[in-house]
Amino acid sequence: MPTSLALGRTQPAVFGSRRLCHGLLLVLCCACGARTSLGGEGTSPCENCDGGVDVVIDHVHDAPIDVSIDVPPPSICGNDIVEPGEECDLGKDNGDKPAFLVTQPSGTNIETNMLVMSESSATFYDYFSASSHTGFEQTGESRLYLYADATSGRLSLILTHGMDNAQPSAAVNMDISGLPSGWSVDLSDDPGEFVQTGPSTASGKWTFNNNSDGGILGGLPFPGTWIITVTADFKKGITSWGWVKSDLSRVPLTLPDTVTIQAFDESSFCRTDCTIPRCGDGRLDGGEVCDDGNNVDGDGCAANCKSFN
């Protein structure tokens, strides 16, 4: 049967096991070792093709076309199969180990970096007139964040409550536990308000009016493996609290839930988004001191992500 090009209604045509009918039919059949043409004399027969390809175009009646197209299913991260678009997939063993993870029983889950400045945490805190002046203070809110001095690598946890010249009368109690070896109270707004109470515990009892209050816990191992828990009792004047990330964005924390800050000194092999952690990818993973998105020395983060420079 010759290859045909027909307009309008056509009689059913059968090519091998394929039945085509009704509409504009364009059938290409590649005969083994023979020349292929469209219509006219000398067209190669198709009945005996042993490696040919039939292509059918039918735009007239939208009739079903006997052509199957294999569409791969979407990748599913976490099914233990490395699929297109995934760097890895360990199934239930996928996990995230950022440098720091902040969680609450209510479901708060924050992968976070520390704020980095080339000055000590006490200088940054800028304590005078019985208040801190970091620029992060907020009326009616307590805030927590990690701070790293790029000149020394010292890591601190900063706590502030309220805002200078705007805060109504307030009272806040906090207990901090799980503090790792080597820590210290680096600053207390007023003597005796924020103190060490044990080898791994500290306590703050702050009362303030028309100013801020707070303190600094310094000397946290970095990179390190530790879990610090902050339990707060906001007695009056403070109605919200938040975590400040390195990009200066504020993430709300749930009152009155405890806050857990966890540090990791090594990364996972495969993240929960099926990517492999690596120095220079712009995400601060466990074991990294910094990650500025490249592997270049001399720009504030070493090429191996192990130190500030």
Strands (E), the chain: 5-6, 13-15, 18-20, 25-26, 100-103, 109-112, 115-117, 141-149, 155-161, 170-177, 184-188, 194-198, 201-208, 213-220, 226-236, 240-244, 250-253, 259-263
How many C-beta atoms lie closer than 10 Å to residue 256's C-beta? Answer: 10
296 neighbors 303 (Cβ within 8 angstroms): yes
Distance CA 81, CA 2 (A): 48
CB contact set of 273 (below 8 Å; sequence gap of 6+): 77
Structure tokens that stand for 203 in this block: 């306590």
Mean of the pLDDT values across residues 166-191? 96
Nearest to 218 by CA among 164, 154, 159: 154
pLDDT at res. 65: 56
Condensed to tens digits (0 to 9), the pLDDT of residues 163-177 reads 999 999 999 999 999
Cis peptide before 74 (omega within 30 of 0): no
What does pTM read for this prediction? Answer: 0.74
Q: What is the phi/psi pair of residue 5, to 5°?
A: -125, 110
Structure tokens that stand for 63 in this block: 């009739």
Residue % of the chain over a pLDDT of 70: 78
242 neighbors 251 (Cβ within 8 angstroms): yes
Condensed to tens digits (0 to 9), the pLDDT of residues 115-158 reads 999 999 999 999 999 899 999 999 999 999 999 999 999 999 99
Residue % of the chain over a pLDDT of 90: 72
Whether the pLDDT of residue 210 is over 60: the answer is yes
Query: Mind spelling out the 3-state secondary structure of 233-274?
Result: EEEECCCEEEEECCCCCEEEECCCCCEEEEECCCCCCCCCCC
pLDDT at res. 7: 37
The gap from C-alpha 266 to its chain's centroid, in whole angstroms, comes to 17
Model confidence at 224, pLDDT cuts 50, 70, 90, reads very high
Whether the pLDDT of residue 48 is over 50: the answer is no
pLDDT at res. 20: 39
Whether the pLDDT of residue 56 is over 80: the answer is no
pLDDT at res. 70: 73
